[in-house]
Structure 1
Amino acid sequence: MKTYRIAAIPGDGIGPEVVPEGVRALRAAADRYGFRVDVVDFPWGCGYYLEHGVMMPADGLDQLRRFDAILMGAVGDPRVPDHVSLWGLLLRIRKGFDLYVNLRPVRLLEGVPGPLASRGPEDVDMLFVRENTEGEYAGVGGRVAEGTAEEVALQTSVYTRRGTERVVRYAFDLARHRRRRLASVTKSNALQYTAVLWDEVTEAVSREYPDVEVWKVLVDAAAYHMVLNPQRFDVVVGSNLYADILTDLGAALQGSLGLAASANLDPTRRNPSLFEPVHGSAPDIAGRGIANPLATVWSVSLMLEHLGEREAAAAVFGAVAAVAREPRLRTPDLGGRATTRAVSDAVVEALR
């Protein structure tokens, strides 16, 4: 029987509440579809930082490298600066394993109350492909004369032709298997070097995909059209920062950050890919048992798809969709009163 080794990093806040429910769905899918999962928990995150002074140990990547995939919850704690927690764990894994594709579905599920009047599931169905290892989050920059009136801070975006081409090509391949439309988001009217390089690479790659319609759209216009004309979008590709921001807008369009799933992928499969809900650690509701676990379960579906377990992936997503249709199973982020465990129980039952 096929066995997958999964590293689980629950992290902080509501992470330790939603990751076990994702694992429950994963095990239910494994039982139904005839494979096994061996899940190992890692206690890394802000709690680990407060005790050890680091978000993960020095050999953390080596420990993770032997797994088939990673399931992460959320990272963040008011006692730890956000840039310390992000760069010390999640970005370290993304960059260390060259997880250059961040895949984020934006889809309004049937039964979920969306914020747009007269817009339903047929209007909001996008798939974002975010460049995940360079761009605005390259980490290049510095500060001089700190604490003085002359202090200067520089943060430099790094766009490479190789990095841009590989993520754009991945997006074209996805578009070819969906509705054959690709929106490429930049700000090339103002950023005359990095964004223009992105546009040029997109144009060059597009010649290999004559069957895919390309829409080059500025990031501010993309935000406008996502609200007023969401049906115009199918696959969307953008830089690290732009796609990061737009997918949080997308989470609002699909009803809640509690429904927003993501996959951090190494398409070469040389390294384990990482799967996580988009939401943060939400310390204001941590420990109350009301966090929405569906984003984590949806992320498990993305994990199974990546591992080649397509039937199981479809079943897990089907369970998410079935639960979302039930008003009595809405957690507070969706205007309901259901608990984390009640939603998870319904997911597992749907998978049996």
Structure 2
Amino acid sequence: MQTYKIAVLPGDGIGPEVTKEAVKVLKAIEESDESISFDIKTFHWNSEYYLEHGKMMPDDGLDQLKTFDSILFGAIGDSRVPDPVTVWELIMPIRKNFQQFVNFRPIKLLKGLQSPLNNSHPIDFVILRENGEGEYSNMGGTMFPGEQREMAVQNTVMTRQGITQIAEFAYQYAREHGKTKVTSATKSNAIIHAMTFWDKVVEEVAEQNADVEYEKYYIDALAAYFVQRPEDFQVVLASNLFGDILSDLGSAIVGGLGLAPSGNINPTREFPSMFEAVHGSAPDIAGKGIANPIAQIWSAALMLEHLGRRDLHDKILSAIEEILEEKNVLTPDIGGTATTELVGDAIAGKLLTKVRG
């Protein structure tokens, strides 16, 4: 039996609610499959922790987390704590220090759902977002606050290593998953230094992987094509900001953020990777028991795939699709009346049969 150490950070808002259901699904897997078990430890590092301690995690928080095989993250965000604090003192240190340079976001129209595009073609591609630098670099500052000459500078940082490693991952992923095309998002006609450099390095990697087709689009045109012909895409490669925006648009065309999982991946496995739903803490519905747990459950499935159990990822996804097709246990965001807990129970129940089978 293989035992995996999983760190769980439920976070704020609906984070604890949906993470509870994802852990329930992991326990259903563990109960029904003798080949795997989970050693789960929960860390309550969130906005409440910040309000009590003046920091988002202990000084040795990263040292604690790096001993785990993987991290399941809920969501972060609370009106009592500024967003730059919650993001830059918890999520960003984990992503950057653990070199989780791949942000992996699948865009897939699941069985049982109808795209708002009313598109008859299947939608099934991934967005691979550079996760460590680019537009989300903590370089810059402000001057002359409150004066007429007040100013702000935010620097975009692109490095050859950063671009190369995410581009190489994109081609490796495409090859391993039977994809035949990589699409790069750029804006080098206007962002003439950073994005021209992005194009140059990506194209160097593309030349070394000529068995996989390469194309590039300006980000504004690509956003339009996501709506007009999403079935054309297979692997979309993007910088930090462009990938963040595109993945929310992608989620919208396949059912919404309540169905959008993600992984912050360290491909070398030197450090743990972190898996989280895209939707955030959603404070407006926190505590109401109506949050959709599917994105977080799917994120846990992505975690299992990263740990080498793609078979269990596929079984969880199949259970999710059965629930969606049956339409008996759905949360309000996708047309149902069920609670968060009932959806988690239903998916776990499907797995208790599936994994045995």
TM-score range, shorter chain: over 0.9
Match of 1:52 in 2: 53
Q: Tell me how far 1:104 sits from its aligned partner.
A: 0.2
Match of 1:284 in 2: 284
Q: Tell me how far 1:178 sits from its aligned partner.
A: 2.8
Match of 2:314 in 1: 314
Distance 1:265 1:326 in 2: 33
Distance 1:48 1:148 in 2: 35
1:242 partner letter: F
2:277 maps to 1:295:
no
Q: Tell me how far 1:220 sits from its aligned partner.
A: 0.5
2:62 partner letter: L
1:52 partner letter: H
Match of 1:81 in 2: 82
Deviations 1:207-265, CA, capped at 9 Å, x for gaps:
22222111101111110000011011110010000000010001101101010000000
2:17 maps to 1:17:
yes
SS at match of 1:336: coil
Deviations 1:265-311, CA, capped at 9 Å, x for gaps:
00010000000000010111101111100001100111001111222
2:117 maps to 1:116:
yes
1:248 partner letter: D
Tell me the percent identity: 49
Match of 1:245 in 2: 245
SS at match of 1:153: strand
2:273 partner letter: S
1:76 partner letter: G
Deviations 1:150-188, CA, capped at 9 Å, x for gaps:
111100000001100000010011122333111100111
2:315 partner letter: A
Match of 2:126 in 1: 127
Q: Tell me how far 1:41 sits from its aligned partner.
A: 0.5
Match of 1:189 in 2: 189
Quick check: 255-264 or 145-154, which moved more? 145-154
- The answer (yes or no) to whether the contact 1:15–1:73 under 8 Å persists in 2 is yes
Distance 2:189 2:31 in 1: 53
SS at match of 2:137: strand
Deviations 1:316-340, CA, capped at 9 Å, x for gaps:
1211222222222221111221111
Match of 2:355 in 1: none
Match of 1:142 in 2: 141
Q: What is the count of residue pairs matched by the alignment?
A: 350
1:79 partner letter: R
Q: Tell me how far 1:206 sits from its aligned partner.
A: 1.0
SS at match of 1:93: helix
Q: Tell me how far 1:201 sits from its aligned partner.
A: 1.0
Distance 2:276 2:299 in 1: 6
Q: Tell me how far 1:113 sits from its aligned partner.
A: 2.7
Distance 2:2 2:122 in 1: 39
**TM alignment of 1:219-230, pairs within 5 A:** 219-230=219-230
Match of 1:325 in 2: 325
2:351 partner letter: L
Q: Tell me how far 1:32 sits from its aligned partner.
A: 2.4
Quick check: 328-337 or 250-259, which moved more? 328-337
SS at match of 1:271: coil
Give the TM-score, by structure 2 length. Answer: 0.96
Distance 2:109 2:310 in 1: 21
Distance 2:114 2:280 in 1: 21
**TM alignment of 1:140-219, pairs within 5 A:** 140-176=139-175, 177-219=177-219
What is the RMSD computed on CA atoms of the aligned residues?
1.0
SS at match of 1:137: coil
Distance 2:70 2:88 in 1: 20
Distance 1:60 1:310 in 2: 30
SS at match of 1:39: strand
2:26 maps to 1:39:
no
Distance 1:200 1:33 in 2: 47
SS at match of 1:348: helix
- The answer (yes or no) to whether the contact 1:33–1:312 under 8 Å persists in 2 is no
**TM alignment of 1:251-290, pairs within 5 A:** 251-290=251-290
Deviations 1:129-152, CA, capped at 9 Å, x for gaps:
000000000111111112222111
SS at match of 2:155: strand
Match of 2:30 in 1: 30
